[in-house]
Amino acid sequence: MGFFDFLTEEIAIDLGTANTLIIHNDKVVVDAPSIVARDRVTGKITHVGQQASLMQGKTHENIKTIRPLKDGVIADFDASEQMISMFIRNIPALKKKFFTPALRMVICIPSGITEVEMRAVKESAERVNGKEVYLIHEPMAAAIGIGVDIMQPKGNMVVDIGGGTTEIAVIALGGIVCDKSVKIAGDVFTNDIVYYMRTQHNLYVGERTAEKIKIQIGAATEDLELPPEDMSVQGRDLLTGKPKQVSISYREIAKALDKSILRIEDAVMETLSQTPPELAADIYNTGIYLAGGGSMLRGLDKRLSQKTDLPVYIAEDPLRAVVRGTGITLKNLPKYKSVLIGK
């Protein structure tokens, strides 16, 4: 421990396409949508997280809501840096300090991002007083967060279905043996619902409404043991232009999402087919672990289990598995140094 270590604060960040989470002192202190609102006149970011999310789809011409990360990559560097910086500055315990503490950080990044983007994330973190900044890939953090002992000579398969990407990885001996990242995840499911409502019901719904439908009655199969009740959905009638309401069942949503889920199934099957036999034998015994918000889609675990003939387990609190893993890594830096990028 260095002499000035008592002045250093430690934070773990899950920089996700849909949500950003931050752990400080073992507590989740930020859990907010990765969205900012920018004033078009001044160019300044006026709101972040939940507040910016509430403005989505309801803005006038002077305000624009931006999702700085899209499809698992950074779409807007400037907005993402300002978003991280505002989230960090709003951490209550750090706000109270009369000087800005130096930060030791572990940031979890989507595995699709390039070297240049990784450097940009690191530099952004350094600009908000990051003294030591480490990066970790999402499936690795998810595996640690789920409670898998990644250092063992034993294969484990993790499927993290987030907002922008689904990351599938086989992990053993602290490394990713084979992996696949597909841009089919929560955002695509939401767009599938928007498209379905438009084409099947002539109803134009916004993204927020479609996401609500997905969470309330979304399903990966038409054959659910505990089906949710039908949902009333309001939007704009494409034929008359008038506001309209229709009732939707989970079976319709299962139909709307079927093609996208098929692509996730195919990616899982492909990764399994590339897995070395000794690790495949381990996965036969341990099964597949699911994490990320998309894994909460009703019946998805059952559908994947039927497809692969393997047991499938959903992580406890799947939306927080990645940040939990990032936090564990931060607390045990010497143990996990080999899995960090840019150590």
Ligand X SMILES: Nc1ncnc2c1ncn2[C@@H]1O[C@H](COP(=O)(O)OP(=O)(O)OP(=O)(O)O)[C@@H](O)[C@H]1O
Q: Which residues are annotated as a binding site?
A: 17-19, 163-165, 211-214
In the complex, least distance from residue 12 CB atom to ligand X, rounded to whole angstroms: 14
Q: Which residues pair with 236 in a beta bridge?
A: 204, 243
One-letter identity of residue 115: E
Among 49, 155, 235, 292, binds ligand X (CB under 6 A): 292
Among 49, 68, 72, 130, binds ligand X (CB under 6 A): 72
Q: Which stretch binds ligand X (CB under 6 A): 149-157, 161-169, 275-283, 302-310?
A: 161-169
Task: Identify the CA nearest to 178 among candidates 326, 108, 277, 294.
Answer: 277
In the complex, least distance from residue 261 CB atom to ligand X, rounded to whole angstroms: 12
- What ranges make up the beta strands (E) of the chain? 8-15, 19-24, 27-33, 36-39, 45-48, 63-66, 69-70, 73-74, 102-109, 130-137, 156-161, 166-172, 175-182, 203-204, 231-237, 243-248, 288-291, 312-314
Residue 240 CB contacts under 8 Å (≥ 6 apart), including other chains: none
Give one word for 12, left, alpha or beta, with left for phi > 0 and alpha for psi -120 to 50.
Answer: beta
Binding-site positions for ATP: 17-19, 163-165, 211-214
Among 68, 130, 145, 163, binds ligand X (CB under 6 A): 163
For ligand X, the closer of residues 235 and 294 by Cβ is 294
For ligand X, the closer of residues 87 and 279 by Cβ is 87
For ligand X, the closer of residues 267 and 279 by Cβ is 267
For ligand X, the closer of residues 15 and 37 by Cβ is 15
323 contacts 108 by C-beta, under 8 angstroms: yes
For ligand X, the closer of residues 192 and 282 by Cβ is 192
What does the binding site for ligand X look like in residue numbers (CB under 6 A)? Answer: 16-19, 72, 110, 138, 162-165, 185-187, 211, 214-215, 218, 292-294, 296-297, 319, 322
